[in-house]
Amino acid sequence: MKLDGTQPERDRPINVAGLGWRWLSRLPLGRFPGDIDIVRPGFSFHFQIVTCVVISVVLSILIWLFRRGVRDARSQENGRSPAN
């Protein structure tokens, strides 16, 4: 951990998420049909299986689009047509 006032690159997404928590908390994550909530006196269990699947699919699509865009940009720099 640096104490010189600089911020490592890996900490920026965490800080952005922290600053945006007010708006991120309004998303209906964790409340999808299929998420498991068991609440009994003195015990509660929450398993957001559908939420995990939705987040995984969305992140996979975003990463795929980003990588495809980077690949297409590189191929255009080299004078080639983008590969499918």
> Would you state the pLDDT for residue 27?
76
> Would you state the pLDDT for residue 29?
72
Consecutive 10-residue averages of pLDDT for the chain (84 residues) = 63 81 76 88 91 91 88 75 58
> Would you state the pLDDT for residue 63?
92
CA–CA dist 69, 63 (Å, integer):
10
pTM for this one?
0.57
> Would you state the pLDDT for residue 14?
81
> Would you state the pLDDT for residue 10?
74
CA–CA dist 69, 71 (Å, integer):
5
Residue with the two structure tokens 């990588």: 67
> Would you state the pLDDT for residue 81?
61
H, E, C per residue of 29-40: CCCCCCCEEEEE
